[in-house]
Amino acid sequence: MSASWKSSLDLGSIPLRALNINVRKRLGLFLNPRNTVASDWMSVAENMGFSYLEIKNYEDCQDPTRKILEDWQSRCPGAKVGKLVSILDNVDRKDVVEDLRDLIEEDCRRYIERQNEPPVQVPEVDSCVPRTPERQGITLEDDPQGGVPELFDAFICYCLSDFDFVHEMIQQLEQTDHKLKLCVFDRDVLPGSCKPFPSILRFLTVCDYTRPCTQSWFWVRLARALSLP
């Protein structure tokens, strides 16, 4: 590192990736122009260890300084901020060092702060163990903590082709004087909370409601049966 740079930071241990875009652009403004007096990017690249042919290939780049910084950072474990400052000092570009000193130190401080921040995610993630308590309720109005359950007079089992009849059942049993409360799977049951065919179906009685003789008494008889304790 430059002997004239007295920094409280250990720049020799900070990787080159700590330098942000602004510093790299300003380095390019100093080093990209071909200069017959002051050292340019070619001298910096040579001190970084690039070969003659590699440096000649960089001549076709629009921003050779940016390119050599990226390649040096990716291929050299010793590509540190302190080493870059020393190289600039060695090629007698102390003007660059002095001009960018504050910006370089600011980038390095931000890098150190980011490294000291606690990780966003815990080190170990176990998907098998729930981190939050599971919801205990099954229906929309159930107590999610498993307290008082929502009560119904009947559970309606149906297929999609019978949905018109289910709608009629809701009108006849819930929206009339019977005032029953039906549990309709697609309306009242939370998605994923229980299987589509609960064990209650084993206790249901089959009734053919399509027969005219059945329809004449069906709703009243059904409502009366469901109202029994």
- Tell me the CATH number at 199: 3.40.50
- Tell me the CATH number at 59: 1.10.533.10
Residue 55 pLDDT greater than 50, yes or no: yes
In a domain, 183, yes or no: yes
Number of domains in the chain: 2
In a domain, 111, yes or no: yes
User: Tens of pLDDT along 98-153?
Assistant: 999 999 999 999 999 988 877 666 555 555 555 555 555 666 665 666 567 777 77
Residue 117 CA from chain centroid, whole number: 18
Last residue of a domain, one of 81, 116, 151: 116
Between residues 159 and 194, the one the model is more confident about: 159
Same domain, 112 and 129: no
Measure the CA dihedral 89/95/98/104, to 10°: -70
Same domain, 157 and 185: yes
Last residue of a domain, one of 68, 93, 116: 116
User: Tens of pLDDT along 166-197?
Assistant: 888 888 887 887 777 888 877 777 666 555 45
Same domain, 161 and 107: no
Same domain, 101 and 126: no
Residue 53 pLDDT greater than 90, yes or no: yes
Q: How many CB atoms lie within 10 A of CB 173?
A: 21
In a domain, 204, yes or no: yes
Burial environment of residue 89 by CB neighbours within 10 A (0 to 12, 13 to 18, 19 or more): middle
In a domain, 221, yes or no: yes
| pLDDT confidence of residue 199 | 46
φ, ψ at 162 (rounded to 5°): -100, 10
Mean pLDDT of 47-59: 93
Same domain, 34 and 130: no
Written as six digits, the tokens of 130 are 């729930």
For 215, the domain range is 122-229
Written in H, E and C, the secondary structure of 35-72 is: CCCCCCHHHHHHHHCCCHHHHHHHCCCCCHHHHHHHHH
Last residue of a domain, one of 100, 116, 132: 116
Taking the C-alpha atoms of residue 40 and residue 35, their distance in angstroms, rounded to an integer, is 6
Mean pLDDT of 10-30: 92
Output the pTM of the full model.
Answer: 0.50
Written as six digits, the tokens of 167 are 């709608």
Same domain, 71 and 137: no
Taking the C-alpha atoms of residue 166 and residue 184, their distance in angstroms, rounded to an integer, is 8
Find, among 214, 191, 203, 113, the residue nearest to 154 by Cα. Answer: 203
Same domain, 109 and 161: no
Same domain, 184 and 198: yes
In a domain, 40, yes or no: yes
Same domain, 171 and 129: yes
In a domain, 3, yes or no: no
Same domain, 84 and 184: no
Same domain, 104 and 47: yes
Same domain, 102 and 154: no
Find, among 29, 200, 8, the residue nearest to 100 by Cα. Answer: 29
Taking the C-alpha atoms of residue 169 and residue 146, their distance in angstroms, rounded to an integer, is 29
Percentage of residues in the chain having pLDDT higher than 90: 38
| pLDDT confidence of residue 51 | 94
In a domain, 195, yes or no: yes
In a domain, 4, yes or no: no
